[in-house]
Amino acid sequence: MAAAAAISAPLSLHSHLSPSSHLPMRALPFLRGRRIRPLTTAHAVRQDAAVWTPAPVSAVGAATADGSVFHVAVDLSDAAELADSYVAPGQYLQVRVPAADGELKPAFMAVASPPGVGPRFEFLVKSVPGTTAERLCGLRDGDVVELGAVMGKGFPVDRITPPDAAQTVLIFAAGTGIRSSLVSQLNAD
């Protein structure tokens, strides 16, 4: 209760000063006439300010026997610039899927296909009821999604030296992202 009262109490510019050292407001001319923002103000990125690229789905299918994870491919033939911006494994972007009610809630998705293999992004998506991921898994070939800009630096797989030292690189994921410290090398026998 005391914490709530402290948060809602107005800020005093000189509460930390002793009573004899209070400064009159005229001593602070740079604050006069200015609105002081509360310390709890949060700033968020405007999602409608992002550039969204429409692209058709070219394939959707179950990637696991139980149908909980789907393979989704998006055709980027008409979005070469977006395809070319994907340069490192581990990069991600936002995907928006239109809903019947017009809602376009974006979801962050890691691109599962390797960079530079053509104008196509592939995703492995776990279908979770009531989410954008579930809507994405329910799409059919030709349905259109909206893709945001490619983000992130990706994984430093170029640090594997010499490059042929590992024929297979395994990247393990948990939660919503993959930590680059979990990149491991498997030497071929």
As beta bridge partners, residue 124 has: 71
In order of their start, the domains of the chain are: 48-147 (2.40.30.10), 157-186 (no CATH)
Tokens linked to 25: 């407001």
Nearest to 108 by CA among 143, 79, 139, 132: 132
Tokens linked to 120: 């196509």
Under DSSP, is residue 92 helix (H, G, I), strand (E, B) or coil? strand
User: What integer pLDDT is reported at residue 135 of this predicted model?
Assistant: 93
User: What integer pLDDT is reported at residue 104 of this predicted model?
Assistant: 81
User: What integer pLDDT is reported at residue 39 of this predicted model?
Assistant: 47
Nearest to 149 by CA among 121, 185, 177: 121
pLDDT of the chain, 189 residues: tens digit per residue: 444 444 444 444 444 444 444 555 555 455 555 555 544 444 444 444 568 999 999 999 999 999 999 999 999 999 999 999 999 988 999 999 988 787 788 999 999 999 988 899 999 999 999 899 999 999 999 999 999 999 999 888 888 888 788 778 777 655 544 433 333 333 333
How much is the pTM?
Answer: 0.63
Q: Alpha helices, DSSP H only, in the chain?
A: 2-8, 80-84, 132-137
